[in-house]
């Protein structure tokens, strides 16, 4: 009986040892690496994830050529490479070289974490003899050796279909909904910047059990609007305009002005990606917007008293953790919030 008990204890101890070793393996087998374009965000994500950033050497030769070298072993590891591919295009080339270097260093899985997916506005062939930039980027990431992509608020959700590898497409609603809930505007109404984004904004409006309007605009060319009308009534309402990105800020400023002309009490905008090129900071500052709330998927390159930044670090850290541990990320999406609310 004593011998049998000892064997049981030994078996349990052996299993406990292996479980402990497995847990230790799980904790140390994921590495997050910093790129030069998103270092401001990567440090926060790594801290939330609970692991220090990996060591990588990224240099540029005098002619602009990029050199990448991992300074520690990543053999057999899950490697997460964080880089937003905003302009200039060096950010994309740097990410591709990091993916290639990781694959050649025998990483088990290479996951490209792209908070802002550049060239996403080139998502279709809408006129003769044009490129489909977002499809080209998808092909290059796959060819370089990426095993998975984690990104946020693609300009067109259908871009996920350009990939033959898994894509985790996060939504900014996980960041913006708590902000709006804390804000508690009395006569809330949501505005979609165009007809194409109406379905996404309708989900948020349904969550808050309020109405929505649509800004219908016609463009002369990129970044230049010929005409705009508001479909719906905004009289004496607190308007929240939601969009996936803000580029020059011209559309946003014009939309806010039009809402005010139509009787809106206040107008604020929530945009995921602060591209903010050209005269964007001036346009936002001089607009009738109460505030422009953005995420930190792209670093701000100027100052504006009306711009407020919300961090995505926890959202990406949780997604990276779940991808590493093969867990679902369904709880991070709007549909999960809607189900829980019911």
Catalytic annotation, residues: 217
Residue 88: other Cβ atoms inside 10 A? 11
β strands within the chain, DSSP E? 30-34, 56-60, 66-70, 78-82, 109-114, 148-152, 167-170, 188-192, 212-221, 224-231, 238-246, 266-274, 292-295, 307-310
Return d(Cα 240, Cα 256) in angstroms, integer.
10
Contact 173, 293 (CB under 8 A): no
Tokens encoding 176 = 């913006």
Phi, psi of 86 (to 5 degrees): -75, 170
Contact 95, 126 (CB under 8 A): no
Tell me the sheet residues that pair with 217.
228
Tell me the sheet residues that pair with 227.
218
Residue whose structure tokens are 């969550």: 207
Contact 320, 150 (CB under 8 A): yes
Helix (H/G/I), strand (E/B), else coil: 326: coil
Tokens encoding 97 = 């070289």
Count of residues in the chain: 342
Contact 260, 275 (CB under 8 A): no
């Amino acid at each position: 009986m004593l011998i049998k008990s000892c064997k049981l204890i030994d078996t349990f101890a052996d299993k406990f040892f292996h479980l402990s070793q497995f847990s230790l393996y799980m904790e140390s087998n994921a590495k997050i690496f910093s790129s030069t374009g998103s270092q401001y965000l990567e440090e926060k994500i790594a801290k939330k994830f609970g692991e220090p950033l990996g060591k990588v050497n990224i240099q540029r030769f005098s002619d602009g050529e990029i050199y990448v070298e991992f300074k520690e072993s990543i053999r057999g590891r899950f490697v997460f490479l964080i880089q937003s591919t905003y302009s200039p295009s060096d950010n994309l080339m740097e990410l591709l070289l990091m993916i290639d270097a990781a694959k050649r260093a025998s990483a088990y899985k290479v996951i490209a974490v792209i908070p802002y997916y550049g060239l996403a506005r080139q998502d279709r062939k809408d006129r003769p003899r044009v490129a489909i930039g977002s499809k080209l980027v998808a092909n290059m990431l796959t060819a370089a050796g990426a095993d998975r992509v984690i990104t946020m608020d693609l300009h067109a959700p259908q871009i996920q279909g350009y990939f033959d590898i898994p894509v985790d497409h996060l939504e900014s609603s996980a960041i913006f909904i708590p902000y709006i809930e804390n804000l508690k505007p009395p006569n809330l109404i949501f505005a979609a910047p165009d007809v194409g984004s109406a379905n996404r904004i309708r989900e948020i409006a349904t969550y808050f059990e309020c109405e929505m309007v649509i800004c219908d605009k016609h463009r002369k060319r990129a970044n230049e609007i010929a005409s705009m009308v508001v479909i719906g009534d905004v009289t004496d309402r607190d308007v929240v305009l939601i969009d996936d990105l803000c580029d020059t800020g011209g559309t946003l400023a014009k939309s806010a002005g039009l809402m005010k002309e139509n009787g809106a009490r206040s107008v604020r905008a929530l945009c995921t990606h602060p591209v903010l090129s050209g005269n964007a900071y001036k346009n936002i500052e001089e607009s009738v917007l109460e505030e422009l709330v953005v995420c930190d998927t792209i670093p701000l390159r100027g100052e504006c008293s009306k711009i407020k930044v919300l961090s995505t670090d926890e959202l990406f850290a949780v997604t990276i953790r779940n991808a590493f541990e093969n867990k679902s990320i369904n709880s991070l999406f709007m549909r999960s919030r809607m189900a829980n609310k019911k």
